[in-house]
Amino acid sequence: QLEQALLAGRNPDGGWGYQAGKATRLEPTCWALLALRDRADSTILSRWPVQEGLLLERQGGAPNHAFHGLALLALRAIRVSHVAGNEALVRGIQTVKGNKLPQSDLTTQDNSLQAWSWIADTFSWVEPTAWCLLALKSWSKALPSAIDAKRVDVAERLLIDRHCASGGWNYGNSNVYGQKLKAFVPTTAIGLMALQHLRQRSEVQQALSFLEQNGTNERSGPALSLATVALSLYGSPTMPAVREAAAAQIPTTLDFGNQMAAAMLLFSLAEDHNYGA
């Protein structure tokens, strides 16, 4: 059902929108190609518009750093070369950083850490940092000379620094105004995917415990898909229950015509969650 819906909902230009019939965007297109692999023509991704080494979020739009990271994962996983050169895109995402801010009494986090923001000239956030970190790690063997080890180190440090006391990650801060902020399933799953090579760290183990306990609490296609993938990568015994919940979400996702959620579910329900790492 999911595969049929994705193939039927593909736009004439070869890409996908967030909803069927909507304009092609980078994020849903990457997820659809990851899910479909050799069952879909990947030409559109190989020719996706670029601006100063960064992929645009859409034709005529601006770069989105998180989506650029996701696209690098897709290019690696489906073995596609971009016309600008995959190495140029890997180097391109390392030319941008989140803004450095003064330390504040409002939060205990380290504001000097500059990882990745969603868009230019803004503060670093958990999701774009995790996606870009994961992308660099996925390309580290194929393009070792193109990876800046300092960017990897700072990104890892930022994610550890933003770790919530309850385990896992919030979208931005872990605390503010003296209040501990709660973690969420999608951000925790992405953080775990990005830090899978540091799984011995206590912060990562706490995040894994949080996801194992809460993986089915956020009933959406994206949340359940990301939780399934993350738990699978860690060999968690709770993964089958989350995977079952993800499968149960399929009818609702199809009813809403949510193409990105459909692609994420199809990818997560596969036996091999290979995105190039």
DSSP 20-86: TTSPP-HHHHHHHHHHHGGGS--HHHHT--EETTEEBSSTTS-B-HHHHHHHHHHHHHTT---TT-H
Query: Measuring CA to CA, how many Å separate 147 from each of 28, 135, 136, 139?
Result: 26, 10, 7, 8
| Terminal-residue alpha carbon distance, the chain | 28
- Give me the mean pLDDT over the 254-259 stretch: 94
What is the pLDDT at residue 177?
Answer: 66
CA distance 94 to 161: 20
The percentage of the chain sitting over the pLDDT mark of 90, rounded to a whole number, equals 87
Only one residue has tokens 């996706």, namely 48
pLDDT tens, position by position, 138-181: 999 999 999 999 999 999 999 999 999 989 999 888 777 677 87
CA distance 155 to 3: 35
DSSP 242-273: HHHHHHHTHHHHHHHTBHHHHHHHHHHTSS--
CA distance 269 to 204: 24
- CB contact at 8 A, 97 and 120: no
pLDDT tens, position by position, 101-149: 888 777 778 889 999 999 999 999 999 999 999 999 999 999 999 999 9
- pTM (2 d.p.): 0.95
